[in-house]
Structure 1
Amino acid sequence: MATSRSSSRPYDIIVFGASGFTGQFVVEEVARTSAEGPKGTLKWAVAGRSRQKLEKVLEQAAAVLSKPEIKSEVDIIVADVGEPDSLASMCKQAVIVLSCVGPYRFYGEPVVKACVENGAHAIDICGEPQFLEGMQLNYNKEAREKGVYVIGSCGFDSIPADMGVIYTRDQFKGTMTAVESFLTISNGPEGGHIHDGTWQSAIYGFADASKLKGLRKKFGHQPLPVTGSKIKRRSALFFSEELQQYAIPFMGADPSVVKRTQRYLYEDLQESPVQYGAYAGVGGMVSVIKLLFAGMLFWILVKFSFGRNLLIKHPELFTFGMVTKDGPTRKQMEQSSFCLTFFGEGYTPEQDPKQGKPNSKIRTQVKGPEAGYVATPIAMVQAALTILNEPQALPKKGGVYPPGAAFAKTSLIERLNKHGIQFSVVGSPGP
């Protein structure tokens, strides 16, 4: 695994926020992946504000992977989002900084700023559209001038969805015009849990939805052209024939991330944009009743500061035990998996997309392990290695990009296939 390090920077990768809940799993994935190449090829370090906590993270990674050398071979850098000088010092030492400091609306921007100013590429696993698009608005110009790549949402939000749309389009014979994705999560007998850091990001995101609209107006974007039939809008709760269960619109960052990628492909590469709809399966009627009850409470409480405080203090109560302050156990993670199924439609090479209805369909899938803390570190680390190994395949200039825009011409999908996130064509869904 040869890496192309820039200049004389001592580290290819620095994991910042390494002692956070997700950060510790990213550290383990970097350690696991660095061992695939010749010894000493990948130079990396961990960073955060507490040396003691970072030492514990390295001890844990050494124990989990049975690699005691991690404790002595991986360097520790003390840096704090509240101390710009420490961030600048960290960024000057890295080719790429993996930022694991959510909620990103509170802690993410100082990292992006320091990376851009000090010439380090930045990758995060953010699922907060307001932060992602705010970074594009505020830092894209400077990042482009400096040749720095800032690539957000390189975790479960939103590499499976964004690269899944790219993959489906690339496998389609002809012009694909629209695609819908349906997410299903499988948990083992002990169920699956979500760490409350992810929960907090969702709370603040919904509370600030009106600000996101104002932010988007500042871009001055023209609507993307629609080729073929306009994608159908589905209701807030519906029975999905595709999944044979009830489904709802996917509430995460995927739709906004995919749209940003499609805008880049259309405006910068003159490729035909693909319309996108994202949905998630919720199961049978019992699950629907739970969802409606929890959703109603959430929508009422999230509008008020006291309500948000209640949601943050008692996550288990308002999610029927799904969100916990401790997050899932390793056993729960081992028993969990996700499947994202894409239904694409478009026109065969012989048919003019401007004439008649779409006449061809395709179905693909992206399958992987537990989404939040197993698949996310895999996706993040492989995104970083893609930057290191394939700089010539990235967009010609630096800038702030969603993953599909940054990695559309790279081998990221092949890399993910080798590491447990599988992309495949499963055939035509029929007429």
Structure 2
Amino acid sequence: MSDRKPDYDLIVFGATGFVGRILCGYLLNQKVDSSVKWAVAGRSQAKLETLVAELGARADGPPYLTADATDEASLRELCAQTRVIISTVGPYALYGELLVQVCAETGTDYCDLTGEPQWVRQMLERYQAAAQSSGARIVHCCGFDSVPSDLGVYYLQQQAQQQLGEYCDRIKMRVRAAKGGVSGGTVASGINIIQEARLSSRLRQELNNPYSLCPDNSSTVTHPPTLVPVQYDLDFQEWVSPFVMAAINTRIVLRSNALLGYSYGKRFQYEEAVLTGSSVKGWLAAKGLSAALTGLTVATAFSATRRLLENTIIPKQGEGPSQASQEQGFYDLRFWGVTASGKTIEVKVLGDRDPGYGSTAKILGQAGLCMAQDFAKSDKPGGFWTPASMFGNRLIERLVKAAGLTFER
């Protein structure tokens, strides 16, 4: 670790990307300059100058710094100038490792919006010891995947303890409704996972293990599949279909339980799915969504069909919806839990922007601010944390106050 005093509290790396630009605009609108000294960073000086000029049209634009995700020296210089880095540079499995390594080695706190479980596992294995030694707090998955799920479970468990006197040992999350597109970066990350899995039997085995991100990488409890098949959910009295984000969200929630000292219990189970309705139409919708997900997975596994999709329906990286479309987006997530004694409880998490862009940018921004403002190095030791185990109620409070989320029974 360097003895040099950082110039900034927070740097947004990848600021000129689509989510990065939304994030910077959000920080500016929040007027964080009065309490946090922040800057933007990226590879292209010209794009950074354009971004700062655009931001400066509304107020004083933030300072900018240049750094390349593949250039270790530039990343070390970047880390020397800040206490916290927010990274939006993905797919992280392709472009994210070097920055995580440098942050772990220099004691620089870090958060991102990855949804790539195989990459998160690799980072844990390679840099956990360095982060613990340097004091760097590394928090992956600070966007729509997996903050609403992770903190939704955390919130439900607190309510269960207060109202029922015990934690739930089984929780379901169901997507009641959502509007908004998936980001090009998310799609690119998903395609990369599929391509890696085709070439690695070890990765295929890992992706079948819901406990792959837990410290001991296993459990004596048999956990349901992370992708729930089409079925009728008796607790919600509706048909359900697989939820694509369940693969990462389930693993983060299970890791949070482990990092919180298994406060949810050693036998805790969690699953996610999409509600499609109670009638025959609901069954047909569930079957259709499941078939579409399977078809997309198969199509992206082969180069010819993948290129066709990339040239037609899949959004490109750096592209995204208009401001108006983001503002028209939303999501409604319902959580249902049952205790060992059979008592049940329900809560919901609502978001006021599209999940893939507008809400993700606000969530990520508040995670970075929470790390910069609310947690001294003495409050949490270095290592790889999850949103719930690192931030807990402090981030819930921030999201409710300034990011358009609602947590309620």
Q: Which TM bucket (shorter chain)?
A: 0.7 to 0.9
Partner of 2:407: 423
Of 388-397 and 40-49, more deviation after overlay is shown by 388-397
Contact 1:193–1:324, Cα closer than 8 Å, also in 2: no
Relative to the length of structure 2, the TM-score reads 0.85
| Alignment TM-score, normalising by the size of structure 1 | 0.81
Q: Give the Å deviation of 1:167.
A: 0.8
Alignment equivalent of 1:250, drawn from 243, 247, 271? 243
Match of 1:104 in 2: 92
Aligned ranges for residues 7-46 of structure 1 at < 5 Å?
8-33=5-30, 35=31, 40-46=34-40
Distance 2:113 2:15 in 1: 13
Matched AA of 2:14: G
Corresponding letter in the other structure for 1:155: G
Q: Which residue of 2 aligns with 1:360?
A: 343
1:93 aligns with 2:96: no
Maintained 8 Å contact 1:178/1:344: yes
Choose which of 59, 65, 69 in structure 1 pairs with 2:60: 69
1:193 aligns with 2:181: yes
Q: CA deviation at 1:380?
A: 1.2
Deviation at 1:282, TM superposition (A): 4.7
Q: 1:241 to 1:9 in 2, by over 3 A?
A: same
What is the alpha-carbon distance in structure 1 between the residues aligned to residue 124 and residue 215 of structure 2?
A: 13
The letter of the residue matching 1:342 is: F
Matched with 1:391 is 375
CA distance in structure 1 between the aligned counterparts of 2:79 and 2:226, rounded to whole angstroms: 44
Q: Which residue of 2 aligns with 1:373?
A: 357
Match in the other structure for 1:48 = 42
Aligned partner of residue 15 in structure 2, secondary structure? coil
Q: Quick one: structure 1 residues 139 and 213, their matched pair in 2 at CA, closer, same or farther if it must change by over 3 Å?
A: farther
Secondary structure (helix, strand or coil) at the match of 1:12 reads: strand
In the TM superposition, 1:272-283 aligns within 5 A as 272-273=265-266, 274-282=268-276
Deviation at 1:7, TM superposition (A): 6.9
8 Å CA contact 1:185, 1:336 repeated in 2: no
Distance 1:186 1:219, change over 3 A: closer
Residue 118 (structure 2) pairs with residue 118 (structure 1): no
Q: Specify the code of the residue in structure 2 equivalent to 1:98.
A: I
Look up the equivalent residue of 1:413 and give its one-letter code. I
For residue 327 of structure 1, report the CA deviation from its aligned partner. Answer: 1.9
Local SS of the residue matching 1:8: coil
Q: Matched residues in 2 for 1:275 and 1:93: separation?
A: 42
2:358 partner amino acid: V
**1:351 is matched with which residue?**
none
1:151, 1:400 within 8 Å by CA — same for their partners in 2?
yes
For residue 325 of structure 2, what is the aligned residue in structure 1? Answer: 332
C-alpha distance in 1, partners of 2:127/2:50?
Answer: 34
Verify the 8 A CA contact 1:265 1:272 in the aligned structure 2: no
Question: Are the equivalent residues in 2 in contact too, given 1:125–1:153 (CA < 8 A)?
Answer: yes
Q: How many angstroms apart in 2 are the aligned matches of 1:218 and 1:151?
A: 13
Question: Which is worse superposed, 44-53 or 376-385?
Answer: 376-385
CA 1:222–1:149 in 2, change beyond 3 Å: closer, same or farther? closer
**Aligned equivalent of 1:57:** 51
Q: Which residue of 2 aligns with 1:179?
A: 171
Aligned partners of 1:392, 1:99: CA distance in 2, in Å?
Answer: 20
Deviation at 1:177, TM superposition (A): 0.9
What CA deviation, in whole Å up to 9, does each residue of 1:308-364 have, x standing for no partner? Answer: 333333334xxxxxx4663222111111101111001114xxxxxxxxxx3211101
Of stretches 113-122 and 15-24 in structure 1, the one that deviates more from structure 2 is: 113-122
Partner amino acid for 1:157? D
Q: Indicate how the Cα distance of structure 1 residues 102 and 115 shifts in structure 2: closer, same or farther if over 3 A, else same.
A: same
Residue of 238, 261, 264 corresponding to 1:266: 261
Q: Supply the distance in 2 between the matched residues of 1:134 and 1:232 (Cα, whole angstroms).
A: 22
CA contact (8 A) 2:85 2:109 kept: yes
User: Identity of paired residues, percent?
Assistant: 30
Deviation at 1:405, TM superposition (A): 1.9
Kindly state the Cα deviation for residue 382 of structure 1 after the two structures are TM-superposed: 1.5
CA-to-partner distance for each residue in 1:282-322, whole Å, 9 max, x for gaps? 56466446535533432332333334333333334xxxxxx
User: What is the letter of the counterpart of residue 330 of structure 1?
Assistant: Q
Shift of 1:11: 0.6
Please tell me whether the aligned partners of residues 14 and 46 of structure 1 are also in contact (alpha carbons under 8 angstroms).
Answer: yes
Name the Cα RMSD after superposition. Answer: 2.9
Q: 1:94 to 1:371 in 2, by over 3 A?
A: same
User: What secondary structure is seen at the aligned counterpart in 2 of 1:208?
Assistant: helix
Q: Which residue of 2 aligns with 1:237?
A: 230
Q: Which moved more, 1:207-216 or 1:22-31?
A: 207-216
Q: Secondary structure at the match of 2:35?
A: coil
Of the three residues 287, 302, 305, the one matched with 1:304 is 302
Q: In 2, are the aligned partners of 1:79 and 1:86 still within 8 Å (CA)? A: yes
Q: For structure 1, list consecutive stretches of 5 or more residues without a partner in the other structure.
A: 1-5, 317-322, 348-357, 426-431
**Offset of residue 219 of structure 1:** 7.9
1:411: Cα distance to partner?
A: 1.4
CA distance in 1, matches of 2:364, 2:320: 19
Contact preservation (8 Å) 2:170, 2:269: yes
Counterpart Cα distance in 2 of 1:393 and 1:171: 29
Q: Relative to structure 1, is the Cα distance of residues 281 and 58 closer, same or farther in structure 2, using a 3 angstrom cutoff?
A: farther
Deviation, structure 1 residue 195: 2.9
Q: Is residue 126–residue 152 contact of structure 1 (8 Å, CA) maintained in 2?
A: yes
Contact preservation (8 Å) 2:227, 2:243:
no
User: In structure 2, do the counterparts of structure 1 residues 256 and 233 end up closer, same or farther at CA, with 3 Å as the change threshold?
Assistant: closer
Indicate how the Cα distance of structure 1 residues 394 and 183 shifts in structure 2: closer, same or farther if over 3 A, else same: farther
SS at match of 2:86: strand
Contact 1:185 1:338 in 2 (8 A): yes
Amino acid at match of 1:77: L
